[in-house]
Amino acid sequence: MALTIKEVEHVALLARLSLSEDEKVKLSQQLGAILNYADTLNTIPTDNVEPLTHILSVHNVFRADEVQPSMPREEMLANAPLVEAGYYKVPKIM
Protein backbone atom coordinates (compact mmCIF):
# COMPACT_ATOMS: atom_id res chain seq x y z
CA MET A 1 0.00 0.00 0.00
CA ALA A 2 1.35 3.42 -0.96
CA LEU A 3 1.83 6.18 1.59
CA THR A 4 -0.37 9.24 1.10
CA ILE A 5 1.26 12.40 -0.21
CA LYS A 6 0.35 14.00 3.11
CA GLU A 7 2.28 11.31 5.00
CA VAL A 8 5.27 11.77 2.69
CA GLU A 9 5.18 15.53 3.29
CA HIS A 10 5.04 15.00 7.06
CA VAL A 11 8.08 12.67 7.02
CA ALA A 12 9.94 15.02 4.65
CA LEU A 13 9.40 17.84 7.12
CA LEU A 14 10.77 15.71 9.98
CA ALA A 15 13.78 14.76 7.81
CA ARG A 16 14.30 18.36 6.60
CA LEU A 17 14.11 17.45 2.91
CA SER A 18 12.34 19.78 0.48
CA LEU A 19 11.09 17.24 -2.05
CA SER A 20 9.77 18.06 -5.51
CA GLU A 21 6.20 16.99 -6.43
CA ASP A 22 7.65 14.21 -8.61
CA GLU A 23 9.80 12.95 -5.76
CA LYS A 24 6.80 12.90 -3.42
CA VAL A 25 4.77 10.75 -5.81
CA LYS A 26 7.65 8.36 -6.44
CA LEU A 27 8.48 8.05 -2.74
CA SER A 28 4.87 7.41 -1.76
CA GLN A 29 4.94 4.32 -4.01
CA GLN A 30 8.47 3.14 -3.17
CA LEU A 31 8.21 3.60 0.60
CA GLY A 32 4.86 1.84 0.51
CA ALA A 33 6.39 -1.14 -1.27
CA ILE A 34 9.33 -1.35 1.15
CA LEU A 35 7.07 -1.06 4.21
CA ASN A 36 4.84 -3.75 2.73
CA TYR A 37 7.87 -6.00 2.54
CA ALA A 38 8.79 -5.04 6.12
CA ASP A 39 5.35 -6.24 7.21
CA THR A 40 6.54 -9.84 6.65
CA LEU A 41 8.21 -9.40 10.07
CA ASN A 42 4.76 -9.48 11.62
CA THR A 43 4.43 -13.17 10.77
CA ILE A 44 6.87 -14.08 13.56
CA PRO A 45 5.90 -13.79 17.22
CA THR A 46 8.32 -11.64 19.25
CA ASP A 47 6.34 -10.94 22.43
CA ASN A 48 8.99 -12.25 24.80
CA VAL A 49 12.03 -11.27 22.74
CA GLU A 50 14.41 -8.60 24.03
CA PRO A 51 15.28 -6.10 21.29
CA LEU A 52 18.92 -6.29 20.18
CA THR A 53 20.17 -2.74 19.86
CA HIS A 54 23.85 -3.48 20.02
CA ILE A 55 25.98 -6.53 19.41
CA LEU A 56 28.55 -5.79 22.09
CA SER A 57 27.36 -5.66 25.67
CA VAL A 58 29.14 -2.39 26.41
CA HIS A 59 27.40 0.41 28.25
CA ASN A 60 28.46 3.96 29.01
CA VAL A 61 32.14 3.88 28.22
CA PHE A 62 33.71 6.75 30.14
CA ARG A 63 37.21 8.15 30.02
CA ALA A 64 38.98 9.79 32.93
CA ASP A 65 37.72 13.33 33.53
CA GLU A 66 40.92 15.02 32.46
CA VAL A 67 41.24 18.07 30.27
CA GLN A 68 42.54 17.15 26.81
CA PRO A 69 43.41 19.44 23.93
CA SER A 70 40.53 19.89 21.46
CA MET A 71 40.68 20.54 17.76
CA PRO A 72 41.90 24.08 16.96
CA ARG A 73 39.15 26.51 15.97
CA GLU A 74 40.65 27.18 12.51
CA GLU A 75 40.57 23.47 11.75
CA MET A 76 36.98 23.13 12.96
CA LEU A 77 35.95 26.00 10.72
CA ALA A 78 38.08 24.97 7.74
CA ASN A 79 35.24 23.16 5.94
CA ALA A 80 32.37 25.48 6.85
CA PRO A 81 30.54 27.00 3.85
CA LEU A 82 30.37 30.42 5.51
CA VAL A 83 32.42 31.79 8.41
CA GLU A 84 32.68 35.20 10.01
CA ALA A 85 34.91 36.34 12.89
CA GLY A 86 35.61 32.80 14.02
CA TYR A 87 31.95 31.68 13.92
CA TYR A 88 29.72 29.66 11.59
CA LYS A 89 27.49 32.04 9.66
CA VAL A 90 23.89 31.09 8.88
CA PRO A 91 20.79 32.91 7.54
CA LYS A 92 18.81 35.07 9.94
CA ILE A 93 16.83 33.02 12.48
CA MET A 94 14.71 35.66 14.21
Partner 1 sequence: MELFELTVHALQQKLASRQVSSEEIVKSIFARINKVDDKVKAFITLTEEDALNKAREVDNAGQYKGIAGIPLGLKDLFCTPGVNTTCGSKMLADFVPTYASTAFRRLEEQQGILAGKLNMDEFAMGSSTENSSFFATCNPWDLTRVPGGSSGGSAAAVSADEVPFSLGTDTGGSIRQPASFCGVVGMKPTYGRVSRWGVIAFASSLDQVGVISKDVYDNALIMKIIAGHDHLDSTSAALDVPDYTACLDGDIKGLRVAYPQEYFGSGVDAAIKDAIKKALLKYEELGAIVEEVSLPHSEYALPAYYLVAPAEASANLARFDGVRYGYRDNEAENMEAMFSQTRCQGFGDEVKRRIMLGTYALSSGYYDAYYLKALKVRRLIADDFTRVFKDFDIIVAPTTPTTAFKLGKQSGDPLTLYMNDILTVPVNMAGLPGMSIPCGFDQGMPIGMQIIGKAFDEATIYKAAYAYEQSTNFHTMKPALGVE
| Separation CA 72–CA 88 (nearest Å) | 14
Question: Binding of partner 1 at residue 23 (CB under 8 A)?
Answer: yes
Q: 47 vs 19, 44, 50, 52, 86, CA distance in Å?
A: 38, 9, 9, 14, 53
- Smallest gap, in angstroms, from Cβ of residue 86 to partner 1? 14
Classify residue 13 as left (phi > 0), alpha (psi -120 to 50) or beta.
alpha
Q: How far is Cα 2 from Cα 21, in angstroms, rounded to an integer?
A: 15
One character per residue 61-90, x = contact with partner 1 (rule: CB under 8 A)? x-x-------x---xx-xxxxx-----x-x
Establish if 31 lies at the interface with partner 1 (CB under 8 A). Answer: yes
Q: What residues make contact with partner 1 under the rule CB under 8 A?
A: 3, 7-8, 10-12, 14-19, 23, 27, 30-31, 33-35, 37-38, 40-42, 44, 46, 49-56, 58, 61, 63, 71, 75-76, 78-82, 88, 90-93
